[in-house]
Amino acid sequence: MKSLRFLKIIFFFAASILVSTATISFITGQRFVEASHWVMRAHEVISQLELVHGNVEDVEAGIQALLSTGEVPDLTNFQDALLGLPQELKKLRRMVGPGCSTAATWRNRWSERSRALPAAQLRWLC
């Protein structure tokens, strides 16, 4: 009788460890998927920023060449960048602007975490 009770206790203990391990694995997997999504999103935003930065540099180089020489050099890069820059900036704003779900998610997370931080830790932000 005692050995049967002991076996039941061991069985339920092992089953509870198995269930808790499965739950922790599931939660960790969910977090990994979410983190992977954020990393991919960050890479997309960075590549868009690099494209916008390259266009701005081309526009700046064209303006500098025009101002320094007073002549109109070959401005194909300048013209292409000048025409493409507004569309690229719009795309970047859509990616990180206020209507973006990513930006809203970050704002929500920041507000949740900032409420948990004491005021002394938030002073450096001001």
pTM over 0.85: no
Distances (CA, A) of 21 to 4, 7, 11, 71, 111: 26, 21, 15, 72, 31
The rounded mean pLDDT for the chain is: 79
Which range has the worst mean pLDDT, 58-67, 71-80, 110-119? 110-119
pLDDT at 123 (0 to 100)? 46
Q: Which two tokens stand for residue 21?
A: 């391990």
User: Are 80 and 120 contacting, i.e. CB atoms less than 8 angstroms apart?
Assistant: no
- Residue 97 is given by DSSP the state S
User: Are 48 and 94 contacting, i.e. CB atoms less than 8 angstroms apart?
Assistant: no
Instruction: Tell me what percent of the residues of the chain surpass a pLDDT of 70.
Output: 75
Q: Among residues 115, 9, 107, 94, which one has the least CA distance to residue 52? A: 94
- How long, in residues, is the chain? 126
- Write the pLDDT tens digit of every residue in 10-55: 999 999 999 999 999 999 999 999 999 989 988 998 998 998 888 8
Please name the residues in contact with 94: beta carbons below 8 A apart, sequence gap of 6 or more: 100
Q: CA angle at residue 80 from 74 to 86, to 5 degrees?
A: 145
